[in-house]
Structure 1
Amino acid sequence: MKDKVASGVSIALLAALVAGTWWAADYAKRAVLEDPPRRMTHEIDSYVEQFVMVRSDEAGVPITRMEGDRLEHYPDDDSSEVDQFRAVSQRPERPTMTARSIHARMDEDGARVVMRGDVQLRRLPSPGRAELDIRSEQITLMPDEDVAFTDLPATVVNGTSRIEGRGMRYDNVSRELQVHNQTRVQIVPGGPRPAAPAARRPSNG
C-alpha cells in the first residue's frame, strides 16, 4: 500500500513538474516581444565619401576606375547613388575612354551605370583617330562591355564634325558610333565626314 502511495505521489510530482515547465516556456515566449519583419524601403544603409572602385582583368591589371565624391547604398534593390561621378576605361588594345556626370546610379555591382546631369563621354585621341566627345543629359554606361548609349538628345563631336540627334550608341570595342534621328550635321571644310545614320549604316567613329 505504501509503495502505491509513493508511486502515485512521484507520478503526480512529475506531472506537475512537466506542466510547470511547459507553462513557464509558453509564458516566456509570449512575454518576449519579437521584432517585426524588416521593411525593405528605399533608404540608405551605408555611404562612402570619396568613393573609388577599380576593376581589373584576369591578369590583375586595372582596366576600369570609377569614383565619386559620395556613394550612398540602398539595400532594397542593391543600387548605389554617386555624386560627381567619374570613370576611366583604359585597356591596352582599346582607346582610352573617360566619362563624368553630376549624378549616377550604379546597378549590378557597377556593371551598369546610368549617368545623369551634364554628362560627358570622351574617347581620347590616338594616332590616326581624332577625339570623340559625346554630351547628353543622360547616358547609360556598361563598363565591362565598354559600351555607352542613350535615347535622349545627344551632341557628338567627332574630330572636326559635329552631329546632333536623338539617341546614340558607342561601342569602344568595335569603335562603332551610331547616332539616331540626326537633326543637325555640321562638317568643317577639310574635316572627315560624320557618322552615317544608324538606321542605314553604323560608322567607325
Structure 2
Amino acid sequence: MRRDDTLVASPAGVSPAAAPKSAGAEQPWHWRVLEFFSAYLPLLLMALLALGTWWLVKNTPVVERDRATAPLRHEPDYEMRNFSVQRFGALGPLKAQIDGDALRHYPDTDTVEIDNVRVRAVGADGRITYASARRGIANGAGTEVQLLGGAQVVSEATPTSPALDFRGEFLHAFLDTERVKSHLPVTVLHGDTQVFAEGMEYSHLDRLIQFSGRMRASFLPKTAKGPAR
C-alpha cells in the first residue's frame, strides 16, 4: 500500500500575515508639521522677501541731491571795505575801474552790491565816462552796473563835442557795449541843451539817444552858460 506524501501543515507552525494599516490612521504630529512646512515654505519665503524689500525702501536715507537742489538764500558770502576793482581788455589796457565804500557778493544771483559806487570806464575811442550813485548793483563779470539813488553818468567832453551828462534816481550802465538806459525820469544835459524825459536809452557807439514817454527840452542862452568844467 502506497504512503500518501501529502503533508498537512500544522496551524500552530504558520504565522498569520500582518493586517494592512488603515488608510485613515493618524500620523505622528512631527510628520504633520513637516508636511505643512513643505507645502507652504515657498509662500513663506516670498512673504519674507517682500517684507525685507519694504523695510529696505522705508529705511533708505534720502539722496543728498535733494538737499543740493534747495535754493540758495540771498546772503553775502564775502564783503570788502574801501575797495577798488579793475577790469582789463584782452590786449591789456584798462577798460573799467569800480570803487566803493563797501561791497557784498551774493552767490545766489552772482551779483555785488556796492555802497557809494564810483565807476570810471574807458570807451573804444578813448573817451572816459564817469558814473556814481549812493548804491550800485553789478553783475559778477562787472560789465553791467545798476545805479540807484542820485545816479549820474557823465561822458567827458572832447575837442569836438561837449560833455554828455545823465542824471536820475536810476540809471543802468552797460560798460562793454557803452550804453546807458533808464525806465524812470531822467535829465540829460548836452552843451546848452537840457532834456527832461520819463525814460531814455543812449548808445555811445551809435551816438544816438532815444527818449520815451513825455519829454521837455530847454535851451540855455549863451550868456547863462557856466564856465567849462
- Point out the more displaced range, 171-180 or 44-53: 171-180
Aligned residue pairs total 162
Aligned identity (percent) is 26
- Which residue in 1 is equivalent to 2:199? 167
**Quick one: which of 130, 146, 151 aligns to 2:183?**
151
- Which residue in 2 is equivalent to 1:61? 93
Q: Is the 8 A contact 1:95 1:172 kept in 2?
A: no
Q: Does 1:111 align with 2:138?
A: no
Over 4 Å off, 4+ runs = none
Q: How does 1:26-175 map to 2 (within 5 A)?
A: 37=67, 40-91=72-123, 93-175=125-207
Instruction: Name the structure with the higher strand share.
Output: 1
SS where residue 184 of structure 1 aligns?
strand
**Quick one: which of 176, 179, 187 aligns to 2:219?**
187
- Relative to the length of structure 2, the TM-score reads 0.64
- Which residue in 1 is equivalent to 2:209? 177
Q: Cα offset for 1:180? A: 2.1
- Structure showing greater radius of gyration is 2
Q: Which amino acid aligns with 1:173?
A: L
- Point out the more displaced range, 51-60 or 150-159: 51-60
Q: Which amino acid aligns with 1:188?
A: L
SS where residue 114 of structure 2 aligns?
strand
> Deviation string for 1:113-143 (max 9, x for gaps)?
1110000110111111011111010111111
Q: Cα offset for 1:178? A: 2.1
Superposition RMSD in Å: 2.6
Higher relative contact order structure (alpha carbons within 8 Å, sequence separation ≥ 6)? 1
> Deviation string for 1:12-67 (max 9, x for gaps)?
xxxxxxxxxxxxxxxxxx9xxx9x94661011110011222211122101121111
Q: Cα offset for 1:155? A: 0.4
SS where residue 93 of structure 1 aligns?
coil
User: Which 5+ residue runs of structure 1 have no aligned equivalent?
Assistant: 1-29, 192-205
